Amino acid sequence: MLKNFILFTLLVVAGTGGELCVSRAMKNVGEVKSIRPREILRVVLRGLLEPWMWIGVLLMASGFFALLGALAELPVSFVVPVTALSYVIGVVGGVTFLKEHVTPQRWIGVALVALGVTLVILGRH
């Protein structure tokens, strides 16, 4: 039980934290302004020099390996729905870490996702 809790916590928090870090890195790098190879290479190289990118990649890799561990231990019909908690963490992280604005409709959607995950967890026993 504790092992599964740790796996899911790592999966959701590290995986989503990694996505937030990569998003922050890409906001620092900026967008690709044209599809010319030189411009794409410029953005890729700037991304590789961005510390948030590497933190994000390490966190996302940790989340991926936690997912593999969870799938080895539990049915996919349980693991995949519970990973939807990443939507909740993603929105909260977007608001706090990236200073994003979230509309009331999106908060309602997040609450529905959280409710759905709760039902899946309660139905497991």
Mean pLDDT value across residues 101-110: 96
Give 15's Cβ-side CA count (13 Å radius): 19
pTM of the model: 0.85
5-42, pLDDT tens digit by residue? Answer: 898 899 999 999 999 999 999 999 988 888 899 888 98
Reading the block at residue 56, the tokens are: 């994000």
90 by DSSP, 3-state: which? helix
Domain that holds residue 26: 2-122
What value does the mean pLDDT of the chain take?
92
Number of domains in the chain: 1
Instruction: With a cut of 70, say whether residue 125 has pLDDT above it.
Output: no
Give the confidence band of 124 by pLDDT, cuts at 50, 70, 90. Answer: confident
pLDDT at residue 33 in the model: 82
